[in-house]
Homo-oligomer: A and B are copies of this chain.
Amino acid sequence: MDLITSLPASWGHTLRVTVEVIGTVAFALSGILAGMRKRMDVFGITVLGFLAAFGGGTLRDILLDRRPFVWVSETALLWLVLGLCASSMVLLRGGRRRISDQAIQVADALGLGLFAASGVQYALVAQLPALVAVLMGVVTGVFGGVMRDIACNETPTAFSDHRPYAVCAFFGGWLYVAAQWLGWSAWASLLASAVFPTGLRLLAVRLDWRLPGWPE
């Protein structure tokens, strides 16, 4: 609400809803596909869809002590993910995977940027210090996927695949903070800090950039 009022009413709301829906669908799909790959049952796959889609934002809200959660105030998002699970079941039956890996990568990059930017914004609205706000952005963007992987009994991809993912959200977060310092409007900051990590991520995937590890 604080957030919405700080934006031009109609623009801000439409922008946020669009952001939430695209990010939610992208992340839910990543959870559903992970559950399928692990040969889970209907319930497991649905939970993975929910965890991936809502886990990051819910963890952020618990840390910020912020209620209601997005999925409580916008129950439509819950129905959307439930419907997505049901329709994936029907559409992806029969062994033909209709969703290409590339489409998932693009949607996931979009979700990362959008969720990270909104996480930073929520934290700054709650008057938290810049570094904490940036970390909240990373949590929002990345921890849905981390929960998905932990529930699959796998080492989280985000921790171990040596590709820039969370790092993109981290730099995007600082971009938001910088934009605020420069006096940009809330929605310009939001847009810039959502587009930047998405683009950086897509570039990193395309050019096959690698993150260093610690050789032992």
> Taking CB as reference atom, which chain B residue is nearest A97?
B216
Q: Which of B47, B63, B69, B75 contacts A159 (CB 8 A)?
A: B47
A5 to B62, CA, bound (A): 28
Counted per complex, copies of this chain come to 3
Q: Which residues of B contact A183 (CB under 8 A)?
A: none
Do A41 and B213 touch (CB < 8 A)? yes
A40 to B154, CA, bound (A): 13
Q: Interface stretch among A9-17, A18-26, A126-134, A173-181?
A: A126-134
Do A159 and B211 touch (CB < 8 A)? no
A177 to B211, CA, bound (A): 48
Q: Interface stretch among A106-114, A162-170, A193-201?
A: A162-170
A40 to B150, CA, bound (A): 15
Is A206 in contact with chain B by the CB < 8 A criterion? no
How would residues 52 to 70 of chain A score, 1 for a CB under 8 Å from any chain B CB and 0 otherwise? Answer: 0000001000110101010
Q: Which of B63, B132, B150 contacts A75 (CB 8 A)?
A: B132
Do B95 and A216 touch (CB < 8 A)? yes
Q: Which of B78, B95, B162 contacts A41 (CB 8 A)?
A: B162
With an 8 Å Cβ cutoff, the count of chain A residues facing the other chain is 59
Check A95/B129 contact, CB under 8 A, given A38-B155, A161-B41, A166-B43: no
Is A203 in contact with chain B by the CB < 8 A criterion? no
Q: Which residues of B contact A36 (CB under 8 A)?
A: 213-214, 216
* Chain A residues numbered 39-95 whose CB sits less than 8 Å from any CB in chain B: 39-45, 47-48, 58, 62-63, 65, 67, 69, 71-72, 75, 78-79, 88-89, 92-95
Check A159/B93 contact, CB under 8 A, given A63-B69, A151-B150: no
Do B79 and A160 touch (CB < 8 A)? no
